[in-house]
Amino acid sequence: MVSKQQKQVVLKDYVRGYPKESDFELRSSDTNCVLSNGSRAVLLKNLCLACDPYMRHRMSDQVSHPGTIIKSYSPGSVLVGYGVCKVIQSTHPGFQEGDFVWGLTGWEEYTVIPNPERLNKISHTGVPLSYYTGNSSAEVKLYLTSEPARVPGCWFTGTGGIAAYVGFYNLCSPKAGETVYVSSACGGVGQLVGQFAKMMGCYVVGSASTEEKVNLSKTKFGFDDAFNYKEHDLAAALKRYFPGGIDIYFDNVGGKMLDEVIMHMKPHGRIAACGMISQYNLEEPEGIHNMFNVVVKSLEIKGFVETDFKHIYPEYLEFAIRHLQEGKLVYVEDIAEGLENASSALIGVFHGRNVGKKVVRVASG
């Protein structure tokens, strides 16, 4: 096999403001798929790709985020993100044809990975392989991607289970009876935080951008209550749902939401700063004006990157699988079919069009 004619999703140039269809190109090209004898590489068939909000930062010129771990995409190049893939050729002794792996891969049908050590082999004992790659239902049990101990990363790190788990349990130190507020309540992280909070015996309220998601939060994920933040005055809503204040805020959106929530925090409240999707497409981030409340209320705001918590993976895996098996945990994905729909799927995430974690299925295995 020398080359493959394949579809690829290319970032045409740095993005300003919200990403739009014209920022991307679905191109068809011949890709060199030769693995030379001296190499230690693999050729992957990409099966599923995660639409992760953090990818927006990589679409900006790097000068906008100095000193961070974020590296910009190169204009004209294929997008890169977390995916689940099948090894179809290998010159690396650690990988064999037929292996399934997850890790950073290209938004294309086939990808050559010259340093596959950074990939993670999927050990799917007791879990059908299809669970890793998604299915046609919009609802997929958590164990579709439930082996972060063996498969740390993929949807369950960047924006998923591990982030929800360490952000809630480790950073926020929740106690039974505490009040918890979760923004993006139906997102890949928020839906899990809501369920974790209920398991802990907390009172948990979420917000989302549509009535469909508000209802899903209550009926599917078990939030005590939820509201459409686009339809309600935020200050009034927070006062109504948290008359005594908020102990824990799991922040997925940042900006004005964070600014207002700070006003409603109880003394000694904790804020997990997981993501700030409301800010990613702005030229100038919104200002947080209520920071003095952090002082007088003894608040903690803790940012985190889930890759710092690899030592927690085994604990999380045990936790997640047990609760899945007991039927106490569900996970909802929103699957787009085919690379033809990949850019619109990703764009939709920044407009809240996804209901659950957004995933692109490239191939079925």
Chain residues that interact with a copy of itself, rule: CB under 8 A: 57, 65-70, 245, 254, 258, 263-268, 273-276, 279, 284-305, 308
| Residues 6+ away with beta carbon under 8 Å from 219 | none
Q: How far is the CB of 53 from a copy of itself (least distance, A)?
A: 11
**Nearer CB in complex with a copy of itself: 164/299:** 299
**Nearer CB in complex with a copy of itself: 199/305:** 305
Q: How far is the CB of 324 from a copy of itself (least distance, A)?
A: 28
Q: How far is the CB of 305 from a copy of itself (least distance, A)?
A: 5
**Nearer CB in complex with a copy of itself: 122/189:** 189
**Nearer CB in complex with a copy of itself: 38/66:** 66
**Nearer CB in complex with a copy of itself: 113/162:** 162
**Nearer CB in complex with a copy of itself: 66/93:** 66
Pair of tokens at residue 248: 């824990």
Q: How far is CA 323 from CA 224, 317, 356, in A?
A: 19, 10, 19
Pair of tokens at residue 339: 């690379």
Which residues in 114-229 belong to E strands, given as ranges? 120-121, 179-182, 203-208, 225-228
**Nearer CB in complex with a copy of itself: 2/295:** 295
Query: Rounded distance, CA 96 to CA 210, Å?
Result: 45
| Residues 6+ away with beta carbon under 8 Å from 251 | 183, 257, 258, 261, 271, 272, 273, 274, 275, 276
Q: How far is the CB of 64 from a copy of itself (least distance, A)?
A: 10
Q: How far is the CB of 159 from a copy of itself (least distance, A)?
A: 12
The rounded radius of gyration (Å) of the Cα atoms in the chain is: 21
User: What residues form DSSP beta bridges with 87?
Assistant: 44
Give the helix ranges, DSSP H, for 172-220: 172, 190-199, 211-219
Q: How far is the CB of 66 from a copy of itself (least distance, A)?
A: 7
Query: Rounded distance, CA 91 to CA 361, Å?
Result: 26
**Nearer CB in complex with a copy of itself: 121/266:** 266
Please, are residues 79 and 106 in contact by the beta-carbon 8 Å criterion?
Answer: yes
Residue among 13, 48, 300 nearest 172 (CA): 300
Q: How far is the CB of 175 from a copy of itself (least distance, A)?
A: 17
Q: How far is CA 364 from CA 86, 123, 136, 160, 164, in A?
A: 10, 18, 10, 22, 28
Give residue 301's region: left, alpha or beta (phi > 0; psi -120 to 50): beta
Q: How far is the CB of 172 from a copy of itself (least distance, A)?
A: 12
